[in-house]
Structure 1
Amino acid sequence: MRSADIVIRDATEEDRKSFIQVLLDAYKQYADELPGPQWEQYKEALGASFDEGKPIGRIVATLEGRIVGSVQLFASSAEAYGRPELGIHNPIIRYLAVSPEARGRGIAALLIKEAVRRSRALGAKQLNLHTSDMMDSAVRLYERLGFERAYETDLYNGDTLVKGFRIGLYEAAHRKK
């Protein structure tokens, strides 16, 4: 997928270092909102995310050949979180990230639209994600793109409510935005 100079493609093993750096740069804005040990633990999880889990897609956005955004696509809650009890048996996006210097160009929306396209190609009826109130700009983006709350998939990370969202893929394919 291509939009202006932004190219959306699969990540390769050679992209590992840049992929992880984009995640760390993007999520660094939350360091002050999380207590020190919690931020360090989160940072470690971000850094390990390229090598851990069972994603069905690691997708990157490049601008002038440089990775400026990424997202991971998982087949279900069992693969995404090791939590089959959530009962999500359709794709889930995790770790959506856009480099701070590349924000405002629609990169996050392009990555989500690619995840929607791939999920539809798999025959899925919906796409899920989880986020917290700390990530308020992400929540606004998800809602603008048509995601709705999926309260039954909410979970807790310690004391933090991690809210579930979903979008019907038929509706997503026919949205104008």
Structure 2
Amino acid sequence: MSTDEIVIRDATEDDHVSFIESLVSAYRQYAEVLPGPVWEQYESGLRASFYEGKPIARIVAVSKGDIIGSFQLFASSEEAYGQPELGIHNPIIRYLAVSPEARGKGIATLLIREAIKRTHSIGAGRLNLHTSDMMASAVRLYERLGFERAYETDLYSGEVLVKGFRLELNEAALRL
């Protein structure tokens, strides 16, 4: 599969089942490292994410009619997490996912480029996201693409530190 075969588009209501199954499949690797009840709660949150909240957009990467990646873009920390006190007043990527069989092919980078494009199109100068050390390969990708730690936006999910990152939409970021 080449990235030329990938279509990046808004998810539709008809995509909801495939969107959710692709999302859960992408995150299922964490079932092995999280305690059973924690994974069950996490999975439940993933499944509910298509219906909860009011993202700016739900975006999918599609290859040969199948959803192989996705993310949701929220306007601020209030919309993304119900936490206005985090002080993030620009878009936030949540639930970035790439199906296990599609990994290593640049799909996550394509999705992040779309998030940058959408963020820039609404006049915002920064894009944020959160992740944890458990997602080491994602952290490496974000750092390679120019995201920097935003310590002031860190939060805790139970006992886990969820690290904040931000990308200033400068010329380099807009060329990704």
**TM score, norm. by length of structure 2:** 0.97
**Partner residue of 2:123?**
123
**Partner residue of 2:92?**
92
Q: Aligned partners of 1:172 and 1:127: how far apart in 2?
A: 10
SS at match of 1:58: strand
**Partner residue of 1:10?**
10
Residue 173 of structure 1 aligns to which amino acid in structure 2? L
Any conservation in 1 of the 2:61–2:70 contact (CA below 8 Å)? Answer: yes
SS at match of 1:37: helix
Residue 126 of structure 1 aligns to which amino acid in structure 2? R
Deviation readout 1:56-78 (Å, 9 max, x if unpaired):
00000001111100000000000
Q: Aligned partners of 2:175 and 2:141: how far apart in 1?
A: 17
Q: Aligned partners of 1:67 and 1:174: how far apart in 2?
A: 26
**Partner residue of 1:81?**
81
Any conservation in 1 of the 2:132–2:163 contact (CA below 8 Å)? Answer: yes
Residue 147 of structure 2 aligns to which amino acid in structure 1? F
**Partner residue of 1:143?**
143
Give 4+ residue runs of structure 1 displaced > 2 Å after superposition.
none
**TM score, norm. by length of structure 1:** 0.96
Question: How much identity, in percent, do the aligned residues show?
Answer: 71
**Partner residue of 1:52?**
52
Deviation at 1:107, TM superposition (A): 0.4
**Partner residue of 2:67?**
67
Residue 61 of structure 1 aligns to which amino acid in structure 2? A
Deviation readout 1:21-56 (Å, 9 max, x if unpaired):
011100000001111100000000000000001100
SS at match of 1:31: helix
Paired residue total: 174
**Partner residue of 1:105?**
105
Q: Aligned partners of 1:141 and 1:49: how far apart in 2?
A: 23
| Alignment gaps of 5+ in structure 1 | none
Residue 67 of structure 2 aligns to which amino acid in structure 1? I
Deviation at 1:128, TM superposition (A): 0.1
**Partner residue of 2:175?**
174
Q: Aligned partners of 2:162 and 2:142: how far apart in 1?
A: 14
Deviation at 1:174, TM superposition (A): 3.3
Q: Aligned partners of 1:126 and 1:143: how far apart in 2?
A: 15
